[in-house]
Structure 1
């Protein structure tokens, strides 16, 4: 069962094509991350799937409901936390949650109970009756997400949810996301922080110029992009020269007395390299392994209109 299913989604503004035939499938109870440079179409995708704007073409189903014909049912099933906080700074944290409860037509008693649950869940009890204007950035973001959860959505769209947060607050938000998914919620995440996608996402799609150019798990995407290497540093030029003669595919950095040897990062390739050096009694002063990360994936796959989708199964 898919929480989100998208086929042929298109959106243009005048002559500018923002989405060009987007296809997506997001399993229930997972985190799906959509990556892309500014202007790639991430926020437009979220706005369409959350019924805020209409697509020009294509079909989508959210939590089993047709996006066009059953828009009210889609809205009842989803929650949205956008790039900019929806918190009312003049209200207290508790009042913000009670306002959302009223908008969801919860009975007063049910609304108070739900607000109390969320204040506890998001560690906001001590600040519940303080104006939101006094909250730190991390507290406001937690309150913003808590407001999204008042209606107990089954699918949540998080559009760059940790932008501007310090590392500790960001990691707190990550744990909240993990807890939500453990409870069966599906998260559709867009983010500029590649580490965030690496930490949270079960699957990642890369969007470039309105088209998906790659999709897979973080590890699958990393394996498709070259760039992994082993860096060897030597104590003297003699060791560097000996290793260079042995390792013909290495790149030399004479100033640093170092070699960069291409590698897939596997234990087998590392062992093979060490054995070759040991057999010739070449002494290495320092060895470090550099594996491809999502930064490499992002830079390799975005910014090129001629990219074609990399199919990963």
Structure 2
């Protein structure tokens, strides 16, 4: 990776961190009902997303992939608007941005990514999918089915696990049999790679290699990025009830942004912070300017053709307004 690319990734990580911090502040102020912080996972998210080809690849996130959205250039007001519960899956163009609406179902985006990858293979588009999940989600049945399906059909998909050591309050050692998510890949006949998830360059290189292999017909890869969630699981969580202060302090010393900053001059660090501050201000103002959407849009765009059940719900809703 050349110096320009490394500076770009550092700048994106700083932006992701500052947006994340501001989102927490907005939640505490009552602007956002809830939020899932990503502090400490910036290298895993930015490094992997930066390896994508936006002209042909597609990403399928959970509810915590702010760094992925930042790296892919997604409209951040539209992305964060999902936390305001005013639109289906966010007010950004997922088709144009190549980032699917984020998914709050544990393991949910993984099956979607495999379905997209099957379509890409049948259409011979040459693109690959990447899907994100945590170490806790790796124990979901859907993930195993998705990996098996991808292995059988040699699908162009990268399963990107951010192993932050905790499935909310349950340590990974108590819910990942064998101790490694990447090691499971061999059982499905696909590649498995474990990488330092706090090293943005290592993540970028591992993901780029997996995507290249997927596009070339080499099949799927499981990447297990070993990282740490420096903040709580969500804004309603208290990690002090299950994590030790010593453990948190040890991982703070391995902060991915601090590590990357050691390679850069002070001028680059100052420029990254200035850029982040300007974007944070614009995003905050944009979020606070949003107003509730018309209530009838609750029934819009759920299906291409409304189902009988959905139409019945819509009629019942309208009747309740007239009652």
Q: Choose between structure 1 and 2: higher strand proportion.
A: 1
Do Structure 1 and Structure 2 share a fold, with TM-score over 0.5? no
The higher radius of gyration belongs to 1
Q: Choose between structure 1 and 2: higher helix proportion.
A: 2
Question: TM-score, structure 1 length as denominator?
Answer: 0.31
Question: TM-score, structure 2 length as denominator?
Answer: 0.30
